[in-house]
Chain A
Amino acid sequence: QKEVEQNSGPLSVPEGAIASLNCTYSDRGSQSFFWYRQYSGKSPELIMFIYSNGDKEDGRFTAQLNKASQYVSLLIRDSQPSDSATYLCAVKSNYQLIWGAGTKLIIKP
């Protein structure tokens, strides 16, 4: 059973601080890793994807991948109240996306 694990939260972070979201996966053969943001009552929105070990930065977002340890993380710098949402980690395994249950992030003004 291929699994993607996330802490459900809620993770509460002060405005302006760095929010760190983590995800682990079981299939060592996974090649592609994604972070989606989902606001309450809305559908998921792709915000980052990463294929190679290391860091990938896009604006305030940094995705980090460590295939040896089978984890992927998302850092959000200068957190804003508008970043409050559920963040879903997804891992592509054999052309299927395996989803984590999501971490609820709350940015406190």
Chain B
Amino acid sequence: GAVVSQHPSWVICKSGTSVKIECRSLDFQATTMFWYRQFPKQSLMLMATSNEGSKATYEQGVEKDKFLINHASLTLSTLTVTSAHPEDSSFYICSARGGGRGIYNEQFFGPGTRLTVL
């Protein structure tokens, strides 16, 4: 149980284009999804937290107009990197947390999406 998928697993795009990354909880309903970014040899950095049906809460320093997050259902959240630039190249990882008690109330990670902006 507690499987989270991400799509695509890697993407290469030209500078100025927008990229959408999908995060799905496959066998549980995710009341909350988290988006992280990780640069090489650095730790995870939380970008934003989203609850189903409401606006995402962004961490300080993360531009909400550049990183658009939609959590329209209990099993799907999307992150759109708008007008991507080379400095946005990173490993983007989502995690999902179910409600209630027990293990599903903890965070389970998707496999990540490696974005390279040329």
Contact = CB atoms under 8 A, between A and B. Distances in A.
B115 interface: no
Nearest to A6: B43
B44 interface: yes
Contacts of A42: 111-112
Contacts of A96: 46, 49
Contacts, number: 37
A43 B43 contact: no
A44 B43 contact: no
A46 B106 contact: yes
A88 B109 contact: no
B109 A99 contact: no
A88 B108 CA distance: 14
A45 interface: yes
B8 to A, nearest CB: 14
A25 interface: no
Interface in A54-109: 88, 96-97, 99-102
B43 A97 contact: no
A44 B111 contact: no
Nearest to B93: A43
Q: Which 10 A-B pairs have the closest CB atoms?
A: A101-B43, A43-B112, A43-B109, A43-B93, A44-B109, A99-B44, A43-B111, A102-B43, A99-B43, A97-B107
- Of A32, A41, A97, the most chain B CB neighbours within 10 A belong to A97
A47 B93 CA distance: 18
Contact of B106 (A34, A41, A88, A99): A34
Contacts of A88: 43-44
Contacts of B114: 41
Contacts of A49: 103, 106
A34 B95 CA distance: 14
A35 to B, nearest CB: 12
B110 interface: yes
